[in-house]
Amino acid sequence: MTAELITAEQAASLVQSGMWLDYGASLCQPDVFDKALSARKEQLQNVKIRACLSMRPRAVIEEDPEGMHFHVFSWHFSGYERKKHDAGRCGYIPLNLGEVPDYYRRFLDPVDIAILKTAPMDDGGYFNYGPSNLWHRAVIESAKVVILEPNRDIPYAFGKENGVHVSEVDYIIEGDHQPCGELPNPEASEIDRVVARRIAAEVEDGACLQIGIGGMPNAVCSLLLEAGVQDLGIHTEMLTDGLGLLYRSGRVTGSRKALDRGKVVYTFALGSRGLYATANRNPDFYCHQVDYTNSPHIIMQNDKVVSINNTTQMDLQGQAASESDGHRHISGTGGQLQFVRGAYASKGGKSFICLSSTYEKRGERRSRIVLDLTPGNIVTTPRSDTMYVVTEYGMANLKGKSVAERALALIALSHPDFREDLERQAHEHRLIPRGVTF
């Protein structure tokens, strides 16, 4: 079978009301097709689209602000998707990110049409996904119709099944070749650096890193440069600018990894053009499928795994709510819980959940460490899984601690202005038994 070259308008004409479409994730989301599909809105009803980490506005949302024709559901919110969720135009799909390929293969109905942006076809007849492997193999297997939108700006990334052969493609449309979307890296705050310094002091030579999204985890990479740690490995979900910086500095060799020795293993990259250039045709980098990068039984096979992730709120028993503000969804579960578990199971492994002690809301300073989570908040990491918790006021390991010990340890990590009230609440609610000392 030979893929047919058609226009974006012809491709969009294949969509019928009630269909499930798949836009893939991150840099693989189509733009030319998306615009052509939005132009057909008056002819269509109840078209549902799965996507993830949209890096630029989606025409099907922008041209259908009331949601009369298209409905977008995301596996993980970008800032854009968060805003559209606030406006009632984007829904979330709960998950463990590393399980998504299995969802497509076992639980979801076949995808009616999959539309992915890729690099141009290579000499072997493959269209490379670039640094965004994730669950695209499973999407291709599930789809009744496969449409590709090649783009010359997609970096070429080596990896396991990181592309689709032309024999599996039904239609090809010409891409617009616009630059890949970038994720800004805000300057680390002083609190970020204090927290990062505490974590960096726990990272040993030969450790294998997973770095989550956000200023604090990225700041750890900068502090590791200052600390002079050597022979680091990388086995991560997201390849960040901080990890790219560590690699370019020569601190990353992967020489002590048990799996994929010498390789930087990741499932998607999101950051600056410099990061994409670092990964482009680089044999040291291996872009794997997410059910490999994120599976705890895979993660644990490397020694000294260090998992570093953010949270936005934690209760006095150690439940980490990292993805919502009440019923307002912010981001997603992603791979946080899977890497927390994989790092714990690794020989010498450590998982860190980091947060600033306070935040500002409506001009009021509030504590991120609380007696009870905000009503509606989603628990991303259960108390039974939380290991190290780090704020600018210190670090505590909750493993093996009683509820009372946890409460006291977390109160000590909170801002001093909130400690007295938190301790009073902990006693009132019997988290800390009367008269106990440790």
Catalytic residue numbers? 237
DSSP code string of 280-317: TT-TTEEE-BHHHHS-HHHHTTSSSEEEEEE-SEEETT
Bridge partners (DSSP) listed for residue 352? 308, 388
Query: Taking CA 192 as the corner, what is the angle to CA 242 and CA 52, rounded to the nearest 5 degrees?
Result: 55
Contact in structure between 27 and 116 (CB atoms under 8 Å):
no
Determine the number of helices (DSSP H) and then strands (DSSP E) in the chain.
15, 27
Block residue for tokens 């009301």: 17
Contact in structure between 370 and 325 (CB atoms under 8 Å):
no
Block residue for tokens 């969720």: 85
Least Cα distance to 158 among 248, 258, 29, 284 occurs for 284
What is the dihedral angle through the alpha carbons of 177, 181, 187, 191, rounded to the nearest 10 degrees? -160
3-state SS of the chain: helix, strand, coil percent to 5?
30, 25, 45
CA distance 309 to 199: 11
Least Cα distance to 227 among 208, 201, 253 occurs for 201
If one counts every other C-beta atom within 10 angstroms of the C-beta of residue 404, the result is 18
Q: Which structure tokens are listed for 277?
A: 């250039």
Least Cα distance to 438 among 415, 407, 417 occurs for 407
What angle do helix axes 215-227 and 190-200 make, rounded to 10 degrees? Answer: 60
Sheet with 113-118, strands from edge to edge, namely 4-5, 171-172, 145-150, 113-118, 20-22, 47-51, 70-74, 90-92
